[in-house]
Copies of this chain bind each other. A is one copy, B any other.
Amino acid sequence: MKKLFNKTQTWLECILCGRKKDLLEERKFRCVCGGLYDVKHNLECPLPYVLKKDFYERLELHQSISGVWRYKELIMPYLPKRFVVSLSEGNVPIIEAGRNLEEWVGGDLELWLILEGMTPTGSFKDFGMTVLISVAKAAGIEAVSCASTGDTSASAAAYAAAAGMKCVVILPRGKVTPAQLAQPLVHGATVITLPGSFDDCMKVQRELTEKYGVYPANSLNPARIEGHQATVFQVAQFFNWDFPDWFVVPVGNGSNCSSIGKARRLLLDLKMAENNCRILGCQSLAANPLAESWGRATWKPQERNSKEFLEYWKMLYAPVAVRETTATAARIGDPVSRDKVMREIVASNGRMKTATERDLNEAVSVCGKDGFFVCPQTGIALAGLREAVKEKTINPGSRVVVVSTATGLKFTDSAAKNLAKNIIDAKNCKTDTVARIMKI
């Protein structure tokens, strides 16, 4: 069979030892040296102004062109279009923060949110999964698998279904809610429950990949990172190819930081954007291995934008034992993509922040009062941003874009529980009683 593209066009490259692999042939997605892979392309792009014109024209057709594949030349240039598996993802709103959020964060920012919950499966994972499943289709893959209780399994199941591919989701029996089961089941995934913990599921998932060659749909697979880059491309295009001063993101396994950093470097390389933008990575106190080790570092902030600091930070890094948190999707004690996160935070002269449980829940409520129902992970980013503003890491007037990673509709139980105290019980069914409660 003629190969769709060769290793001089698109390839995998280990971020530690530089070893190269074939993207379409790789099944394990972990280098023999233990390193993660980057996807690399030999970009032969049209001139920036031609590309920009194309991107605007496709935006005009937005109801038929995905907000991810709008940027195909930058995301997966050599993949033949017939392999693209899209669910019309990614044309999401970029909105100015409402007055409540603006006041809560403080610091006189020009504050924006990109609402990545307004996607087919309700989370930012769709940005990446459309690319992962498209690459899998091109590689002739028949089944993908993952062990995830939330957004990843929902997204993998949906895109696998669209591709006519099998998807296996492995979950701990009795430890997931109907809401978490609904999406994989509706999308026809094979849902297998194990009589064990979530860690047992992760172990099985890892061995399925390592021993049986089952294609992983989880964060190990760097094809996903390529799609997540559309966040940066969309924001840059929205601001007329100007970067914001800061991107603020929650960090779980780290795909957001990784992809924002990669896309940032790409647009700078291509001279499609010229100013720097910095990444603020935020973690909850319940699971903050990156923010915690960043905090333990003794170097001055202005000295952290260097390879030497990166090595030092890697040395300081240690996994943490996770605690309970509303922000379950980022409850990860040892992020898969930690090396990439560190690389991008350092390269962008970025920062890490920790958010308390109280603050992240408060942030969700504050957004609600502006009319937006965001997930607790968005709350982590907003609470981290507020800390950074307080410490004057971010200057007044800065243009800041916060990545809102999922819709609050995936977290209705915790939201209802947190706010149940606000329900008013009327003592009878009379209209006058209700009117009195309403003070009219």
Binding site for B on A (CB under 8 A): 56, 59-60, 62-64, 87-88, 91-95, 98-99, 115, 118-122, 143, 145, 158-159, 161-162, 164, 168, 170, 173, 178-179, 181-183, 185-188, 190-196, 200, 203-204, 207-208, 211-212, 214, 234, 238, 364-365, 368-373, 407-410, 412-413, 415-417, 419-420, 422-431, 434-435, 437-438, 440
Contact = CB atoms under 8 A, between A and B. Distances in A.
Given A426-B195, A438-B143, A431 B207 contact: yes
17 contacts: A63-B92, A63-B93, A120-B373, A122-B407, A143-B438, A161-B369, A179-B413, A182-B416, A185-B415, A186-B415, A191-B424, A192-B426, A194-B428, A194-B429, A195-B427, A195-B428, A200-B429
A368 B178 contact: no
A178 B88 contact: no
A354 to B, nearest CB: 24
Contacts of A185: 368, 415-416, 419-420, 422-423
Given A63-B91, A178-B412, A185-B368, 18 more contacts: A63-B92, A87-B95, A87-B371, A91-B91, A115-B120, A161-B368, A162-B371, A181-B420, A182-B413, A185-B422, A186-B364, A186-B415, A186-B419, A188-B365, A203-B431, A204-B430, A212-B435, A214-B438
Contacts of A93: 63, 88, 91
A62 B413 CA distance: 32
Nearest to A185: B419
A376 B422 CA distance: 30
A35 to B, nearest CB: 24
A328 B63 CA distance: 29
A373 to B, nearest CB: 5
A187 B371 contact: yes
Contacts of A416: 178-179, 181-182, 185
A434 B170 contact: yes
A186 B95 CA distance: 19
Nearest to A369: B188
Nearest to A119: B118
Nearest to A98: B162
B412 A182 contact: yes
Contacts of A214: 438, 440
Given A196-B429, A424-B193, A438-B214, A412 B207 contact: no
A213 to B, nearest CB: 8
Given A183-B412, A412-B178, A371 B158 contact: yes
A431 B204 contact: yes
Contacts of A365: 186, 188
A91 B120 contact: no
A194 B434 contact: yes
Contacts of A408: 182-183, 186
Contacts of A373: 120-121, 158, 182-183, 186-187
10 pairs of A and B residues whose beta carbons are closest in the complex:
A162-B371, A186-B368, A88-B93, A178-B416, A182-B412, A185-B419, A207-B431, A179-B412, A196-B429, A182-B416
A409 B238 CA distance: 29
Nearest to A214: B440
Given A91-B93, A413-B178, A428-B195, A161 B423 contact: no
Nearest to A235: B63
